[in-house]
Amino acid sequence: MPLDDHISVAAPATVANLTVGFDCLGLALERPLERLELRRTTRPGVIIASIHGCDGLPMDPERNVSGRAAMSALEALGVDWGVELTIHKAVLPGSGIGSSAASAASAAFGVAALAGATLTSEQLLPLALDGEQVASGARHADNVAPALLGGLCLVTPEGQVDHLPAPDWHLTVVHPQTVIETARARSVLPTQVALGDALGQMARLGHFVHCCHTRDAQAAALALEDVLAEPHRIPLQPHFRGIRQAAMDAGATAGGISGSGPSSYWVSLSASTARAVGEAVSAAFTSHGMEHHVHVGRVAERGAHVLEN
């Protein structure tokens, strides 16, 4: 592949945990998409030219998710040039739909594409995780993997990524305009769980994976039940019980907290139901005077990708 002087890439928002798969399941969303412009420079290193769509993000590449991932990609490729980044944030920090993962994935993938290098997912993933670590302090890949690869991913404790057949779902993702820090959401989790709860969760996760392979979208949705993390995080989520009731009354099959929140995701088996769920949940948030964004779509087949001019 030829070396480019300028390239634009995008990476999708993601839903991690998927209720039944705490810290191991994640899927890519059709929207919103994070966009990143990369321009090759003769001087080695990374420069962040500007950031649009979000205030307060660091311009220092070492402290910026996109900057750190781009630096790692340049180092891995061993090139003698640098890159200038223009970041267009559409997936906002603290939203619970993979903001840092979208930034990290777009940067690692974008530098490789700029260089004309075809890196495998196994090669790209640790580079993107370097960026993710800047934001979260950890190297969890349940958001980063689907942001890079698209679709539905299961990440093993050893870091192996298994691409699962994505259920034929229509997703309604609702992002109230508030922030829940991942560290706070983790702080409310118990350090020990009952053996019966652990065994039940393990069985539901196994059943979910089976349903994905048998293409049973409804049964896969009904397997989305969590007794380990979500019950402890619900008190942090704004108006969650009322939002859940509104979604289910509108026809959602299942759903839950996206990542650590405050976003939630709701699974429907038709586009019309997903739209109705969006309208119902939007009305519920409006009744509380809370600003919010609603995204309706499918599981994105593509992860990070080059945008055509």
The answer to whether residues 12 and 160 belong to one domain is: yes
Is 303 contained in some domain?
no
Is 22 within 8 Å of 226 (Cβ atoms)?
yes
Tally of structural domains, the chain: 2
The answer to whether residues 175 and 206 belong to one domain is: yes
Among 189, 191, 184, 147, residue whose Cα is nearest residue 33: 147
Is 261 contained in some domain?
yes
**The pLDDT value given to residue 21:** 94
The answer to whether residues 16 and 137 belong to one domain is: yes
The answer to whether residues 119 and 238 belong to one domain is: no
Q: What is the Cβ-side half-sphere exposure of residue 249, based on CA atoms within 13 angstroms?
A: 11
Q: Out of 144, 164, 184, pick the residue that ends a domain.
A: 164
The answer to whether residues 70 and 199 belong to one domain is: no
CATH, residue 276: 3.30.70.890
C-alpha dist (Å) from residue 290 to 31, 71, 223, 274, 286 = 21, 38, 30, 21, 6
For residue 189, what are the domain limits? 170-298
Tens digit of each residue's pLDDT (9 = 90 or more) over 142-179: 999 999 999 999 999 888 999 999 999 999 999 998 88
The answer to whether residues 118 and 179 belong to one domain is: no
Q: Mean pLDDT across the chain, nearest whole number?
A: 94
pLDDT at residue 2 above 70? no
pLDDT at residue 1 above 70? no
Task: Just list the catalytic residues.
Answer: 132, 182
231-262 burial string, b = 16+ CB within 10 Å, else e?
ebbeebbbbbeebbebbeebbbbbbbbbbbbb
Q: Out of 100, 134, 164, pick the residue that ends a domain.
A: 164
CATH, residue 145: 3.30.230.10
**The pLDDT value given to residue 69:** 97
Is 304 contained in some domain?
no
* Helices first, then strands: H and E counts in the chain: 10, 11
The answer to whether residues 67 and 202 belong to one domain is: no
pLDDT at residue 22 above 80? yes
Is 98 contained in some domain?
yes
Tens digit of each residue's pLDDT (9 = 90 or more) over 45-96: 999 999 999 989 999 999 999 999 999 999 999 999 999 999 999 988 888 8
Is 74 within 8 Å of 44 (Cβ atoms)?
yes
Cα separation, 260 vs 142, whole angstroms? 12
Burial class of residue 189 in the structure, from the number of CB atoms within 10 Å of its CB (0-12 exposed, 13-18 middle, 19+ buried): middle
**The pLDDT value given to residue 184:** 84
Structure tokens at 82: 């640098």
Q: Out of 132, 164, 196, pick the residue that ends a domain.
A: 164
What confidence tier does 121 reach under pLDDT thresholds 50, 70, 90?
A: confident
The answer to whether residues 144 and 202 belong to one domain is: no
Cα separation, 144 vs 125, whole angstroms? 7
Is 60 contained in some domain?
yes
What's CA 58's distance to the chain center, in Å?
Answer: 21
Is 21 contained in some domain?
yes
Is 43 contained in some domain?
yes
The answer to whether residues 131 and 178 belong to one domain is: no
The answer to whether residues 109 and 197 belong to one domain is: no
Dihedrals phi, psi of 233, to nearest 5 degrees: -95, -15
Cα separation, 109 vs 239, whole angstroms? 37
The answer to whether residues 131 and 256 belong to one domain is: no
The answer to whether residues 232 and 149 belong to one domain is: no
Is 112 contained in some domain?
yes
Global confidence as pTM: 0.92
